[in-house]
Amino acid sequence: MRLPAMLRWAAVALALAAAAAALLAAPAAAFYLPGVAPNDFQKKDPLLVKVNKLTSTKTQLPYSYYSLPFCKPDTIVDSAENLGEVLRGDRIENSPYVFEMREPKMCQIVCRASIDDKQAKELKEKIEDEYRVNMILDNLPLVVPIARQDRDAIVYQGGYHVGVKGQYAGSKDEKVFIHNHLTFLVKYHKDETTELSRIVGFEVKPFSINHQFEGQWNDKNTRLITCDPHASKLVTNSDTPQEVEAGKEIIFTYDVGFEESDVKWASRWDTYLLMTDDQIHWFSIVNSLMIVLFLSGMVAMIMLRTLYRDISRYNQLETEEEAQEETGWKLVHGDVFRPPANSDLLCVCVGTGVQFFGMLLVTMIFAVLGFLSPSNRGGLMTAMLLTWVLMGLFAGYASSRFYKMFKGSEWKSITLRTAFLFPGIAFGIFFILNALIWGEKSSGAVPFTTMFALVLLWFGISVPLVFVGSYLGFKQPAIEAPVKTNKIPRQVPEQAWYMNPAFTILIGGILPFGAVFIELFFILTSIWLHQFYYIFGFLFLVFIILIITCAEITIVLCYFQLCSEDYNWWWRSYLTSGSSAIYLFLYAGFYFFTKLQITKLVSGILYFGYMLLASFAFCVLTGTIGFCACFWFTRLIYSSVKID
């Protein structure tokens, strides 16, 4: 393929990327930096409450709100979702709940529903699995305030439970009750000069009550006995709950109150972002970072002093006899840059790792700058996908550069493997897991149209960019080794037990994992326990520490290996830091059994399937960091000594 043709491919790919970014960003009208683009409401302005998916930490399978027999509006309208929202299983729709700004209402009837056997069974299953209802008002998620006695403070739970299990007084039989009365509280911040208000909080207290009414049912004009503001009878407890039973009618009602707040609009997300115990979080991260920084400093100091002594000693050897008496890393100079076994696969892995590194770096920079606010649901995932696709250019470039250094000539072959190996494995696992979700009739199943969009991003943008990168990389002069490689391989002497490849590889992964495992706990909590994660500044710092740790531990173990006259460092340098993925997956298993309450087989398969994919990606990332550091290190030391 000639250069003009390649450039045309590049232009087409970049145009497709721009078009995809525009299409995917178009539905996300709520995308803004924190503190920008607020909505102002006058008194009696309509406030439209939207409903989102039903979620459960016990099953990890989201369902549409209207999959249960809740009250429906006259016409259900789906809100346009971006790519990230669809992949997260978000299904945002309108609801029959409509408020008026600063106009409190009591005992408002939404509807009366009669449930059949199938609906009763579904309700009981969802309540058993502790499903929560998620709603949205002015782009703020609904929360339930919960008083914590131990800290004498209020914490917030995202969404309210569909219902609860319990017993009637004097009975041992366990029954299932539905929360059919919602007491909403809308907090607002008022501008004293303009009388305009901005919503800064959206809370609810759910109750279960067996509503009774006078006379005949007359839709929303019926007067309830159990909830009547004219008789000063309001719902404040669940002493007479509404049982879920086939053939029974359920009356859904709500109250809405308004409360002025000192919280300004720019700070309204603080409630959601501070749901966890921050003191433990910050202390643990700082403590971990200090330990890793200390170890890294010690390692760097030892390495610099030892290497300086070695290079000085080697350069002072004047005779060939003296050189032959020496042992250590200089003796393997004729073999250290010999191409490894399966060098093609190594090139592909390094190229994919470069793609991951670029994706994480760019995404994290945007997140730290505040462009990926949690108010933009799905924005983080959309950004990661688009960045991954565009980083295919660097993946192709890196893989072809190393491929040419290893005397490879079929650059198109290495390009195809770089473009399809990891994405193909990831897509295969994703497709199988998606089929399982589809079998459960969950809203988390990715629709065919979205699947087609992912394939289009892959084949239409990523693959051409990998080809462009490979072409440009292969056109560059081959990377020259600082020393010549002998024609006959040198025999590797017998190694001590502690220099066994399996042992050093497993030991090498401990320190990189130790640099991230505290932060990993909070990331897993945000993903699997449905909490917000927004401390990207600390995450970026941990990412930098991870890079330094992977590089230094790989260099140290590579140095010991070369001193033992073992020159097979290529794959070992990749796997040394890459083995941290083993500990990540083991930690994911520990987290599953100690922190999660998943009971369904499908949910367990989903968890370990996605964590296996994440561990694989972590292995590729950390392995590439270690390999590149070791490659730089070996070139540096062998170019610093005199080779006769």
Question: How many CA within 13 A on the CB side of residue 516?
Answer: 29
More confident residue, 10 or 642: 642
Tell me the two tokens of residue 283.
Answer: 């202390």
Band of the pLDDT at 4, cuts 50, 70, 90?
very low
What does 51-71 look like in DSSP terms, one character per residue? EEEEE-TTT---B-GGGSS--
CA 172 to chain centre: 43
Which residue is it, tokens 């009602």?
253
Tell me the two tokens of residue 600.
Answer: 């369904």
* 345-359: pLDDT as tens digits: 999 999 999 999 999
Q: Share the mean pLDDT of the chain.
A: 83
Please determine, for residue 317, whether its predicted confidence score (pLDDT) is greater than 60. Answer: no
Please determine, for residue 521, whether its predicted confidence score (pLDDT) is greater than 90. Answer: no
What whole-number distance in Å separates Cα of residue 265 and Cα of residue 261? 10
- Output phi, psi for 511, to 5 deg: -65, -45
Please determine, for residue 386, whether its predicted confidence score (pLDDT) is greater than 50. Answer: yes
* 151-203: pLDDT as tens digits: 667 778 889 999 998 887 777 788 899 999 999 999 999 887 887 999 999 99
Please determine, for residue 73, whether its predicted confidence score (pLDDT) is greater than 80. Answer: yes
* SS3 annotation, 437-473: HHHCCCCCCCCHHHHHHHHHHHHHHHHHHHHHHHHHH
Are the C-beta atoms of residues 590 and 522 closer than 8 Å to each other?
no
Please determine, for residue 291, whether its predicted confidence score (pLDDT) is greater than 70. Answer: no
Residue 27: predicted pLDDT: 36
Question: Is 339 exposed, middle or buried (CB count within 10 Å of its CB: 0-12, 13-18, 19+)?
Answer: middle
Distances (CA, A) of 280 to 234, 270, 286, 350, 518: 41, 18, 10, 37, 10
In this structure, the dihedral spanned by the alpha carbons of residues 536, 542, 547 and 550, taken in order and rounded to 10 degrees, is -140
Tell me the two tokens of residue 547.
Answer: 């890079």
Compute the chain's Rg from CA coordinates: 30
What whole-number distance in Å separates Cα of residue 372 and Cα of residue 357? 18
Residue 26: predicted pLDDT: 36
Residue 443: predicted pLDDT: 87
Band of the pLDDT at 14, cuts 50, 70, 90?
very low
* 434-444: pLDDT as tens digits: 999 999 989 88
Residue 644: predicted pLDDT: 54
Domain coordinates in residue numbering, the chain: 45-272, 341-480, 505-643
* 195-252: pLDDT as tens digits: 799 999 999 999 999 888 877 777 767 888 888 877 777 887 878 888 888 888 899 9
Residue 372: predicted pLDDT: 81
Residue 35: predicted pLDDT: 39
* 399-440: pLDDT as tens digits: 999 999 988 888 889 999 999 999 999 999 999 999 999 999
Are the C-beta atoms of residues 395 and 354 closer than 8 Å to each other?
yes
Residue 17: predicted pLDDT: 40
- Output phi, psi for 153, to 5 deg: -145, 175
pTM: 0.84
Residue 192: predicted pLDDT: 77
